[in-house]
């Protein structure tokens, strides 16, 4: 029985590593590893020290994500330190260097700026620390220089497409006033982040690909922030009034802000205006259920956290990643009033 269990465990481990996309080769211990590190064949079972860098704590989605990461890691016996980059790349660089000096076994990093990825990768490579990047995806070329590095995230174009589909699924395909075109405002996340760029592009593309004519009334940067979403939407409604048929928000926190302005302007979602977000924050799920948001898209924080830890454990066990195969994606899921109950706790 014991032998059978051991065999089963090995099989499960091999399968889970394969699912993570690594080459699943266990390497000889890297001679570049810091001397104070103990190398074992299965460090995952030993519990190690893990440094987690978050771009800023004051971000609704990343708060869910970092809590999930911490819970999973601690549940597996790791010693975890999670630090707040305060949206300051210089500060995060220091935090990474401190973790390296402390001799952490692995790093999980949500970069402050995608454009800093090359420098971050260079730092962790020089130190020989297995690293999982999350949430802000670097280019394949930037990652290719270090084979003990993997990115775990989602394909942002998919979430944009789903937002467009949520509008296409409405009875009038977003054309509330029947003038033959969908007039929208776009409230964008931080455009330095590829999620913001691709959601902006693909939400609209889903409409035009379906042959729907569109008119962009305004596009404003709201940096993923609820208050900015509220202000931007209030200004746009004051300026464009009933012309606004659809409010696309790159994330839910901005959509919740926008909803406050929609309601303050006496407008009614799903009757005279549509509103969509991304993330499936609890607050947004409640609004979808109440009919105050047309829909949202699940950005699976728990799924991504679990996958990030799985990949981290693969790296600790010696996995390496081939160039061009260093992005591991978790699927987005469309959330509508029909299925919203499935996502509520
Ligand atoms: C996105 C998420 C946003 C924000 C951003 C931070 O994936 O939808 O709400 O958290 O990441 O980079």
The tens digit of pLDDT for each residue in 258-300 reads 999 999 999 999 999 999 999 999 999 999 999 999 999 999 9
Q: Report how far residue 329's alpha carbon sits from residue 155's, in angstroms, rounded to the nearest whole number.
A: 6
Q: What is the pLDDT averaged over residues 94-115?
A: 98
Class of residue 9 by CB neighbours under 10 A (exposed 0-12, middle 13-18, buried 19+): exposed
Nearest-atom index, ligand 1, CA of 62: 10
Least confident of 10-14, 84-88, 335-339: 10-14
Residue 16 has pLDDT above 60, yes or no: no
pLDDT of residue 20: 61
pLDDT of residue 37: 36
Lining ligand 1 with CB less than 6 A are 59, 61-62, 135-136, 189, 193, 195, 224, 251, 253, 278-279, 299
The per-residue b/e assignment along 184-219, b for 16 or more CB within 10 angstroms, e otherwise, is bbbbbbbeebbbbbbbbebbbbbbeeeebebeeeeb
Nearest-atom index, ligand 1, CA of 252: 9
Residue 231 has pLDDT above 60, yes or no: yes
Nearest-atom index, ligand 1, CA of 250: 8
Greater pLDDT, 38 or 343: 343
Residue 8 has pLDDT above 90, yes or no: no
Class of residue 293 by CB neighbours under 10 A (exposed 0-12, middle 13-18, buried 19+): buried
Q: What is the pLDDT averaged over residues 198-226?
A: 98
Distance 61 CA to ligand 1 centre (A): 6
Q: Write the CA distances from 332 to 68, 72, 119, 163, 273, integer angstroms.
A: 17, 21, 29, 11, 24
Residue 33 has pLDDT above 60, yes or no: no
pLDDT of residue 10: 42
Distance 71 CA to ligand 1 centre (A): 20
Q: Write the CA distances from 89 to 54, 189, 281, integer angstroms.
A: 11, 18, 26
Q: Report how far residue 285's alpha carbon sits from residue 14's, in angstroms, rounded to the nearest whole number.
A: 36
pLDDT of residue 1: 40
pLDDT tens digits, 290-344: 999 999 999 999 999 999 999 999 999 999 999 999 999 999 999 999 999 999 9
Nearest CA to ligand 1 atom 10: 61
What is the three-class DSSP state of 190? coil
Least confident of 2-16, 143-157, 239-253: 2-16
The pair of three-digit structure tokens given for residue 20, joined into one six-digit string: 């993570």
Pocket-testing residue among 110, 151, 153, 189, ligand 1, by greatest number of atoms within 8 A of Cβ: 189
pLDDT of residue 240: 98
Nearest-atom index, ligand 1, CA of 193: 12
Q: What percent of the chain has pLDDT over 90?
A: 86
Class of residue 335 by CB neighbours under 10 A (exposed 0-12, middle 13-18, buried 19+): buried
pLDDT of residue 89: 98
The length of the chain is 345
pLDDT of residue 22: 54
Q: Report how far residue 301's alpha carbon sits from residue 305's, in angstroms, rounded to the nearest whole number.
A: 6
- Any idea what DSSP says for residue 172? T
Distance 248 CA to ligand 1 centre (A): 15
Q: pLDDT band at 47, cuts 50/70/90? A: confident
Q: What is the pTM of this model?
A: 0.88
pLDDT of residue 325: 97
Residue 170 has pLDDT above 50, yes or no: yes
């Amino acid at each position: 029985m014991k032998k059978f269990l051991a065999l089963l465990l090995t099989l499960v481990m091999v399968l889970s590593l394969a699912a993570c996309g690594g080459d699943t080769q266990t390497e000889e211990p890297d001679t570049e590893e810091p001397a104070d590190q103990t190398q074992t064949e299965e460090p995952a079972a030993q519990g190690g020290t893990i440094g987690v860098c978050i771009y800023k704590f004051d971000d609704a989605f990343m708060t869910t994500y970092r809590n999930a990461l911490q819970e999973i890691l601690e549940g597996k016996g790791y010693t975890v330190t999670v630090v707040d980059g305060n949206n300051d790349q210089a500060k995060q660089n220091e935090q990474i260097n401190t973790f390296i000096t402390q001799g952490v076994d692995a790093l999980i990093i949500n970069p402050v700026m995608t454009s800093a990825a090359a420098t971050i990768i260079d730092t962790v490579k020089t130190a020989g620390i297995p690293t999982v990047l999350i949430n802000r995806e670097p280019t394949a070329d930037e990652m290719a220089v270090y084979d003990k590095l993997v990115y775990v995230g989602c394909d942002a174009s998919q979430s944009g497409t789903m937002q467009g589909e949520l509008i296409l699924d409405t009875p009038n395909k977003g054309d509330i006033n029947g003038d033959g075109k969908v007039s929208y405002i776009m409230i964008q996340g931080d455009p330095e982040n590829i999620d913001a760029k691709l959601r902006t592009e693909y939400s609209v593309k889903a409409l035009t690909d379906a042959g729907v004519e569109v008119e962009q009334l305004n596009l404003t940067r709201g940096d993923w922030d609820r208050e900015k979403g509220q202000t931007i939407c209030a200004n746009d409604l004051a300026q464009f009034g009933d012309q606004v048929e659809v409010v696309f928000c790159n994330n839910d926190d901005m959509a919740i802000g926008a909803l406050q302005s929609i309601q303050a302007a006496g407008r009614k979602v799903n009757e005279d205006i549509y509103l969509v977000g991304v993330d499936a924050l609890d607050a947004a799920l409640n609004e979808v259920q109440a009919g105050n948001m047309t829909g949202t898209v699940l950005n699976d924080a728990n799924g991504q956290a679990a996958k990030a830890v799985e990949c981290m454990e693969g790296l600790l066990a010696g996995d390496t990643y081939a160039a061009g195969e260093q992005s591991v994606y978790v699927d987005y899921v469309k959330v509508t009033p029909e299925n919203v109950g499935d996502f509520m706790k």
